[in-house]
Amino acid sequence: MARNIVFYWCPVCNSVVELVENGGHSLVCCGQPMERLKVKEKGEGSEYHLPSLKHRDGLLYVNVGSKPHPQSEDHHIKFIVFVTKQTVRRSDIKSNSMATAVYTDKDHGDVYAYCSTHGLWKTSF
Ligand SMILES: [Fe+2]
């Protein structure tokens, strides 16, 4: 089982933060509370956003979506995060780049993909 990870978003400036340790207080950005990002695991748009996983030769290959996601400046997958019980590994994805990542595959975990327009998606294995 992967460790629990939570992401927050600022509706004013679009900043996204990852909460490492919850001290029990709310996060504030641009003078107002940040919103906890909801995690989607299915539903409309999943074919473009759900992380698709392939295991081969001890590596985990992540490809976001079964169909290619747009990677334009204003709408793209911004990062992929692989979370296990012990580790959190993030790959930043630039616009005009493929929404893919490769990690070593020694543990089960959760793989998140964040779209600048459609939010946070997760696949577990
Ligand atoms: Fe999207």
What are the pLDDT digits (tens) for 39-65? 999 999 999 999 999 999 999 999 999
Cα 15 to ligand 1 centre (Å)? 17
CB 49 within 8 A of CB 66: no
Cα 29 to ligand 1 centre (Å)? 24
User: Which residues surround the ion ligand 1 when the cut-off is CB under 5 Å?
Assistant: 115, 117-118
Q: What is the pLDDT of residue 3?
A: 82
CB 80 within 8 A of CB 74: no
Cα 49 to ligand 1 centre (Å)? 6
Cα 34 to ligand 1 centre (Å)? 21
Sketch out the chain's domains with CATH numbers: 39-124 (2.60.40.730)
Q: Which residue has the higher pLDDT, 105 or 38?
A: 38
pTM of the model: 0.93
CB 51 within 8 A of CB 122: yes
Token readout for 32 is 């107002």
**Residue with tokens 């029990």, as numbered in its chain:** 24
Cα 57 to ligand 1 centre (Å)? 30
